[in-house]
Amino acid sequence: MARQEILDKHKEFLFPCVANYYREPVILTEGKGCQVRDVDGNEYLDFFGGILTVSLGHCQPEVVEAIGEQARRLGHVSTLYPTEGLVRAAERLAKMTPGELKQCFFTNSGTEADETAIMLAKVHTGRHEIIALRHAYAGRSAVATTITAHSNWRPLPAAIPGIVHGHPGYCYRCPFGLTYPSCDVRCAQDLEELILTTTNGQPAAFMAEPIQGVGGFVVPPKEYFEIAVGIVRKYGGLFICDEVQTGFGRTGGKWFGIEHWGVQPDIMTFAKGIANGMPVGATIATPEVAASMDCLSLSTFGGNPLSMAATNATFDVMEANDLPARVERQGRALRERLDALMERHDFVGDVRGMGLMQAIELVEDRKTRAPSPDRANQLMEAAKGAGLLVGKGGRWGNVLRIAPPMLIEDGALAEGCDRLEKAMAAVK
């Protein structure tokens, strides 16, 4: 199909809420590594990895081969039938994840993984109230959109009762008007007041992303999770760690984001980059917590042979390339370039992130810190024109999100930064 026919059919046959980036959407037709091509033959560097989903690179040869080989042997069985690929992936997750996490349930998306985690926490504790965070994003189901704390992502006011929202460690926009570290990490301390005043004092769980993804790559202070999780556990709640965007080396130096904060989750969720673009979600828990789910359960597509082949092949490549160490090194190089851009452009209010998960927050001016979604849109369009695809996020849509495939070559990383620098020069 030609470009316009695709756009016309998209408008006619898809829900209107299925939004696209850019004034003239990019219609992609093929990709290899961190390079993608659109229907008009234009080529771009993908500095968003899908949405932190193409963890290794587009059409990674080992993953493509594993999917094809599995498709020629067995394409589908449900969880009613155990398979080698399923148990291999589960065992590997148990070995990769921190603490006592061991037993898995596979699904198809982050939404399902988070739903599974919340249900498990409620069953295990016999409680119903969940502590989430403002600026969080958890998916698009009724529960997930209630966990999500962005008004523009919530079609209903409060679809599920019993979910309350604390403050994340968003130091650049501290709601208390304080400055770290003299603040005593008030945002985390406030969770106790939240529990005592907005719940019955018996939370089932605290659910949080180590670095908020859609929220704008918000990185909390190093004490945040020790304080927050300590408070929740004081009142008998579990800690659910959402690693959908931060998992599998993305933050550099560790396999999972929460490891940088030294806190052990009771339940952890994954999706996106776990299988380099195949639809896989997973929830892992300690044996004690997992044993609480004593009802019958299955997943028609979760853990299917094709998805597990992709997952295991992705793990193979990640381990062979020592991805956490690689990302840590490249993350430092990326951050140096972004910090330099901040020095040259006064509309950059903040640069933050870890590893290959970095953000630029755009503002009207640094004194007022007023969000500038207009400048973010300008920068998105200018970057596209320079042959660079990046993401956007934050409560006000003013945060540029940068998260290229984690096997990106040093030269491509530098080239992408050059294109970003060129694009920023066009922002007014």
Same domain, 103 and 247: yes
The crossing angle, in degrees rounded to 10, of helices 373-385 and 410-424 is 120
CA distance 96 to 256: 9
Same domain, 263 and 120: yes
**Count of domains for the chain:** 2
Same domain, 133 and 20: no
Same domain, 18 and 107: no
Same domain, 289 and 357: no
- pLDDT (tens digit per residue) in 163-189: 999 999 999 999 999 999 999 999 999
Same domain, 70 and 84: yes
DSSP class per residue in 371-420: B-HHHHHHHHHHHHHTTEE-EEESTTS-EEEE---TT--HHHHHHHHHHH
- pLDDT (tens digit per residue) in 202-238: 999 999 999 999 999 999 999 999 999 999 999 999 9
Query: What is the radius of gyration, based on Cα positions, of the chain?
Result: 21
CA distance 239 to 131: 10
Note the helical H segments in 211-304: 224-234, 287-290
Q: Supply the CATH number for residue 254's domain.
A: 3.40.640.10
Q: Supply the CATH number for residue 330's domain.
A: 3.90.1150.10
Same domain, 357 and 315: no
Which of 300, 320, 340 terminates a domain? The answer is 320
Which of 320, 336, 351 terminates a domain? The answer is 320
Beta bridge partners of 106: 282
CA 383, 385, 388, 392: dihedral to nearest 10 degrees?
40
pLDDT by residue, tens only, the chain of 428 residues: 999 999 999 999 999 999 899 999 999 999 999 999 999 999 999 999 999 999 999 999 999 999 999 999 999 999 999 999 999 999 999 999 999 999 999 999 999 999 999 999 999 999 999 999 999 999 989 899 999 998 888 877 767 899 999 999 999 999 999 999 999 999 999 999 999 999 999 999 999 999 999 999 999 999 999 999 999 999 999 999 999 999 999 999 999 999 999 999 999 999 999 999 999 999 999 999 999 999 989 999 999 999 999 999 999 999 999 999 999 999 999 999 999 999 999 999 999 999 999 999 999 999 999 999 999 999 999 999 999 999 999 999 999 999 999 999 999 999 999 999 999 999 98
CA distance 70 to 87: 15
Same domain, 55 and 35: yes
Same domain, 164 and 264: yes
Same domain, 356 and 276: no
Which of 286, 320, 354 terminates a domain? The answer is 320
Same domain, 120 and 259: yes
Same domain, 230 and 152: yes
Domain enclosing residue 311, as ranges: 63-320
